[in-house]
Structure 1
Amino acid sequence: MTSILTNVAAMAALSTLRGIASGMEETQARVSSGLRVGQAADNAAYWSIATTMRSDNMALSAVQDALGLGAAKVDTAYAGMESAIEVVKEIKAKLVAATEDGVDKSKIQEEIDQLKDQLTSIAAAASFSGENWLQSDLSVSTTKSVVASFVRDDKGHVSVKKVDYALTGGNVLFDTSGNNLGILDKQYNVSQKSVTVSVNTDGVSSEHTVAAYSVDELIAQNATFTTNTVGGKTTQLADVAGTFYVKIDDNNWVEAVDVTGTGQEAVHDEGGTYYGIDTAAAPATNIAAPFSVATINIIGISNANLDALISGVDAALTDMTSAAADLGSIGMRIDMQEEFVKKLSESIDSGIGRLVDADMNEESTRLKALQTQQQLGIQALSIANSASENILTLFR
């Protein structure tokens, strides 16, 4: 039936055009924004996840900045410690030179004074963003922290993880409290290292505490090392200008004596000569180095005090080396964490994209199809509207 009051065909064509227009609007929005889920109405679950993850990614970006700042602080402290180690090495060399007979100690002291001033300058300059890890008030407990990561656990709780570095007398060069607890301003105890061993004499065992040495200390004295096997047991002997030392474990060597013909247990047999523990070689009494590294003055001191001072400087070097190693390990951890945070941020971006990004190939194809459908719908509406006009010809 054809009616001039109700054009059903036109209404159907118009409804189809409205649907096509709605589809085109949605597709054009995806094409222009690049998002398949741009608002909660598109997909509430995906939109919520993506929004939360974008927030976490912003936090990770802040963590990256904090890691960069922390790395700069650690690198500054490490550079300062490394430079200070080289200066203290020079001071140690000057002190060794001062042990030679006839040397002008006043000239050496002048050089040492310049090196001490350099240590002060290094410690004061090793500051970044107002923080100095090489000099601190050691009368109070101080811990430096570096942001390491931002964590969201499986229950949705968030937290910021940090790497702590406690400032102590073992890693701070100067104690600004005046208590002289820093590596360079404290006087080290340089008593000789000792070890307790059990010695069997005529079948009776007794314990003796004797002086102990490391292989490095013997090498420094130009020791000659020999190895021999007696009764299936291999032992090592070191000869330092006619004084013999025998190895008793992986870390310690002790002074040895010829015990041929005695009842003492032999620990080394060198062609019929037997060596045992020299129980008379007791450790030296506890003494302190006469000066700290920061206050060294070799004018007028005895050879014994000079030897103690060299040992004190060597102990300071040991502490500084350990502190530099700690700083280096923290720096390495920060570098690894920076790389991890970067990869984690990229993974989150990729995950968000999988949830909400539009497939541009698909959307462009859909848009082209909708445009074609729109043109056909317009033609259909035109045909439907022209049907009513054809009725007028019946009245002519």
Structure 2
Amino acid sequence: MTSILTNSAAMAALQTLRSIDANMEEVQNRISSGYRVETAADNAAYWSIATTMRSDNAALSTVQDALGLGAAKVDTSYAGMSSALDVVSEIKAKLVAASEPGVDKTKINKELAELKNQLYSTAESASFSGENWLYNDSTTPAGVKSIVASFNRSTSGAVSVSTLDYDTATSILIDTKDASRGELTKAVNVIQPSGATTAPATYHLLEVAGGTPPAGSVLIELTATTSYDDIQGMLKAVDAIFSNMTDSASTLGAITSRIDMQENFVANLMDVIDKGVGRLVDADMNEESTRLKALQTQQQLGIQALSIANTNSENILRLFQQ
């Protein structure tokens, strides 16, 4: 039936053209934004996952910063410990030199005094961001220091933060309030020769101004009358101190290695998460470009079909022409 009131062909063509325009708008939004799923209305499930993982990646970025800060603290402590080890090694060499008969022990002691000052300066200067893991001037022990190492999300969705802990009690070299808490200030028990026998002896390397030295312990220093046996005892004490400091330096080195590995892992994890989110929500530009060209062709054909449908109504006039 031909009607001048209802143009079914035009209505069908217009409906098709509206659908094409809607699809074109969708494709154009994807091309301009780069996202296949930009809002929750596009795909609620994928959008929710992507939003959560982006938030987790932001948290991991903060973890990277925390690891960098922690690495700086550990590196500073390790540099100070390494420098202190060199000085203690030099002190050992001076004590060996003092063991030689006829040497001027008072001159060697002046060198020891300067080396001790260097140890004090090194420990006090090994500070980063207000934290010093080699020097403690508080009445409380330095305690355990924590470095944020990772951000975790369990299968149930619960989040947590993991830390890398280091007990600074193993690396404190000087404690101004309690000499027993510092490797360089605490008493070291050794067995030194005493004539034809051996005898226990206790020595400490540094004394802090205003502090209380360990009870019953002898300061490692030389005088003109210092005996050979005493020097040997001091040498054993310094060697024990050196050994303890070496253990501390090894621990700091292990933590540095652990931080480096964790930094690499977090960086790789962030990249993997970015890729995973991209697979869910990013638009395929090759596909969208092909769709856009197809829709542009469909749009042109739809406009032409609508034009033809509108022309059909005009043909009715010819039926009434005389």
TM-score (norm 2): 0.90
State the structure with more CA Rg.
Answer: 1
Pairs within 5 Å for 1:257-296: 284-289=198-203, 291-293=204-206, 296=220
What SS is found at the alignment partner of 1:84? helix
Which residue identity does 2:275 align to in structure 1? S
Task: Identify the range of structure 1 (103-112 vs 365-374) with the bigger mean alpha-carbon deviation.
Answer: 103-112
Partner of 1:150: 151
Which residue identity does 2:51 align to in structure 1? T
> Aligned equivalents of 1:91 and 1:138: distance in 2?
29
TM-score (norm 1): 0.74
Partner of 1:342: 267
What SS is found at the alignment partner of 2:16? helix
- Shift in Å, 1:175: 0.7
Pairs within 5 Å for 1:239-250: none
Match of 1:317 among 239, 242, 246: 242
Partner of 1:197: none
> Aligned equivalents of 1:312 and 1:88: distance in 2?
11
> Aligned equivalents of 1:51 and 1:12: distance in 2?
40
Partner of 1:61: 61
Which residue identity does 1:154 align to in structure 2? T
Query: Structure 1 residues 118 and 141, CA, compared in 2 at 3 Å: closer, same or farther?
Result: closer
Determine if contact 1:81/1:320 at 8 Å carries over to the other structure: yes
- Shift in Å, 1:117: 1.1
Determine if contact 2:141/2:181 at 8 Å carries over to the other structure: no
Which residue identity does 1:166 align to in structure 2? D
> Aligned equivalents of 2:233 and 2:295: distance in 1?
92
**1:297 matches 2:297:** no
Pairs within 5 Å for 1:158-237: 158-168=159-169, 170-191=170-191
> Aligned equivalents of 2:44 and 2:2: distance in 1?
47
Which residue identity does 2:205 align to in structure 1? S
Partner of 1:115: 115
Partner of 1:352: 277
> Aligned equivalents of 2:94 and 2:59: distance in 1?
52
> Aligned equivalents of 1:2 and 1:157: distance in 2?
67
What SS is found at the alignment partner of 1:287? strand
- Shift in Å, 1:187: 2.3
Partner of 1:388: 313
Gaps of 5+ in 1: 193-280
Which residue identity does 2:42 align to in structure 1? D
String of CA shifts for 1:328-347, please: whole Å, max 9, x gaps.
00110000000111111111
Indicate the structure whose relative CO is greater, using CA pairs within 8 Å and at least 6 residues apart: 2
> Aligned equivalents of 1:287 and 1:384: distance in 2?
113
String of CA shifts for 1:281-338, please: whole Å, max 9, x gaps.
98x332212x424553211322211111111110100010000000000110000000
> Aligned equivalents of 1:94 and 1:27: distance in 2?
80
**Identical aligned pairs, as a percentage?**
62
> Aligned equivalents of 2:189 and 2:179: distance in 1?
16
> Aligned equivalents of 1:138 and 1:89: distance in 2?
30
String of CA shifts for 1:93-138, please: whole Å, max 9, x gaps.
0111011111111211121111111111111111111110001247
Task: Identify the range of structure 1 (73-82 vs 114-123) with the bigger mean alpha-carbon deviation.
Answer: 114-123
Which residue identity does 1:79 align to in structure 2? A
- Give 1 or 2: higher strand fraction: 1
Query: Structure 1 residues 179 and 133, CA, compared in 2 at 3 Å: closer, same or farther?
Result: same
- Shift in Å, 1:78: 0.5
Partner of 2:211: none
Query: Structure 1 residues 138 and 174, CA, compared in 2 at 3 Å: closer, same or farther?
Result: farther
- For these two proteins, the number of residue pairs brought into alignment is 305
What SS is found at the alignment partner of 2:257? helix
Runs of 4+ in 1 over 6 A off after TM superposition: none
**What is the alpha-carbon root mean square deviation over aligned residues?**
1.7
Partner of 1:50: 50
